[in-house]
Amino acid sequence: MYPPVEPFETGNLKVSDVHTLYYELSGNKDASAVVFVHGGPGGGTDGKDRSFFNPTKYKIILFDQRGAGKSTPSACLEENTTWDLVKDMEKLREHLNIDKWHVFGGSWGSTLSLAYAQLHPNRVKSLVLRGIFTLRKSELKFFYQDGASHLFPEAWEEYVAPIPEQERHDMMLAYHAQLNSIDDQTRITAAKAWSKWEMVTSKLYVDPKQVAEAEKDDWANAFARIENHYFVNDGFMRDGQLLESQEIDKIRHIPCVVVQGRYDVVCPATTAWALKKAWPELELHIVPDAGHSSREPGTAALLVKATDKFAD
């Protein structure tokens, strides 16, 4: 990955009566723009995300989606849907006077990147996607109800702990009740347990720093509340919508590289493969020694190779 760089511009863009988005620009202000679409939803951006791009070849745009990171109000679920976020990307693009941009996203970021490209294909120069996630019911069931639980039984025990036995048949719904409880302690206990489940399963070798992040109240609250809100609403999409042929046909002309961890238990390779079958032109790399995280060495190397390839 490229050495760290600092933003040459930051800003806050009011996108609705409720929401204001934090954004930042770094790298070369005269170069072609790339927008980084963060995961979660609700994960927010991290300065290290700039390092996927050559700062001499790209104007690097990071933004925190509604309720995430430095965007305000934090963890707000009002007016917060996939389609609001797509509209926000267009508002940000216009605000920055960008005609077309490269789009880079992993996990939920791949979801939102696909949704954005399918609605605005003429604004997308290229797509670099990691850990493909399309919010199908089968994908959500695998990670939050019955699947990854068989690979991480000890972490699963911590994840189910806040939920009464009689509610564990529908974990997402049960967590929705606790994440929206009027009791502060109930909310934060649930938020930390939800967030920790994802952090401890994201890498082949657990990253204690990332797990510690999941224990921070504000970050966990936003990440868990927003993720759960989207998931109990099936991403505000038809099941499998992003993989439908009429949707894929809108973007098949766009150069696309997909990097997928073989041992990604958060967003298993089955969805990346379904995308490849629907979109044969895309370039798919399955990393043999990687889990979900973009920071797995093999994954990060291929992501940088892809952004170098698309730099224009």
Ligand X SMILES: CNCC(=O)c1nnc(C(C)(C)C)o1
The catalytic residues are 107, 264, 292
Beta carbon of residue 64, minimum distance to ligand X (angstroms, whole number): 11
38, 102, 187, 285: residue in contact with ligand X (rule CB under 6 A):
38
A 10 A CB-CB count for 145 gives 15
Beta carbon of residue 108, minimum distance to ligand X (angstroms, whole number): 3
Position with the least CB separation from ligand X: 43
Beta carbon of residue 211, minimum distance to ligand X (angstroms, whole number): 11
291 binds ligand X (CB under 6 A): no
DSSP 16: S
DSSP 8: S
Interatomic CA distance for residues 61 and 208, integer angstroms: 28
Interatomic CA distance for residues 105 and 35, integer angstroms: 8
Query: Which one of the spans 5-13, 35-43, 52-60, 179-187 is the region binding ligand X (CB under 6 A)?
Result: 35-43
108 binds ligand X (CB under 6 A): yes
32, 36, 43, 176: residue in contact with ligand X (rule CB under 6 A):
43
**Between residues 80 and 107, which has the closer beta carbon with respect to ligand X?**
107
Query: Which one of the spans 36-44, 55-63, 172-180, 246-254 is the region binding ligand X (CB under 6 A)?
Result: 36-44
53 binds ligand X (CB under 6 A): no
Task: Give the strands of the sheet with 256-261, arranged side by side.
Answer: 9-14, 20-27, 58-63, 32-37, 101-106, 124-130, 256-261, 283-287
**Between residues 107 and 271, which has the closer beta carbon with respect to ligand X?**
107
40 binds ligand X (CB under 6 A): yes
Query: Which one of the spans 38-46, 71-79, 86-94, 177-185 is the region binding ligand X (CB under 6 A)?
Result: 38-46
Site size toward ligand X, by CB under 6 A: 11
Interatomic CA distance for residues 216 and 221, integer angstroms: 8
261 binds ligand X (CB under 6 A): no
Please give the full DSSP string across 209-250, using - where no structure is assigned: HHHHHHTSHHHHHHHHHHHHHHHHTGGGS-TTGGGSHHHHTT
299 binds ligand X (CB under 6 A): no
**Between residues 100 and 213, which has the closer beta carbon with respect to ligand X?**
213
**Between residues 32 and 80, which has the closer beta carbon with respect to ligand X?**
80
A 10 A CB-CB count for 253 gives 10
275 binds ligand X (CB under 6 A): no
77, 92, 115, 266: residue in contact with ligand X (rule CB under 6 A):
266
Angle between helices 171-179 and 217-232 (to 10 degrees): 130
Tokens 């766009």 identify what position? 254
**According to CB under 6 A, which residues from 216 to 255 bind ligand X?**
227
**Between residues 199 and 248, which has the closer beta carbon with respect to ligand X?**
199
Residue 13 phi, psi (nearest 5) = -110, 120
Handedness of CA 254, 259, 265, 271 (dihedral sign): positive
Instruction: Give the type of residue at 57.
Output: K
202 binds ligand X (CB under 6 A): yes
Specify the 3-state DSSP secondary structure of 97.
coil
Handedness of CA 84, 86, 92, 94 (dihedral sign): negative
Interatomic CA distance for residues 253 and 221, integer angstroms: 39
**Between residues 27 and 261, which has the closer beta carbon with respect to ligand X?**
261
Beta carbon of residue 296, minimum distance to ligand X (angstroms, whole number): 12
Residues lying near ligand X in the complex (CB under 6 A): 38-40, 43, 107-108, 133, 198, 202, 227, 266
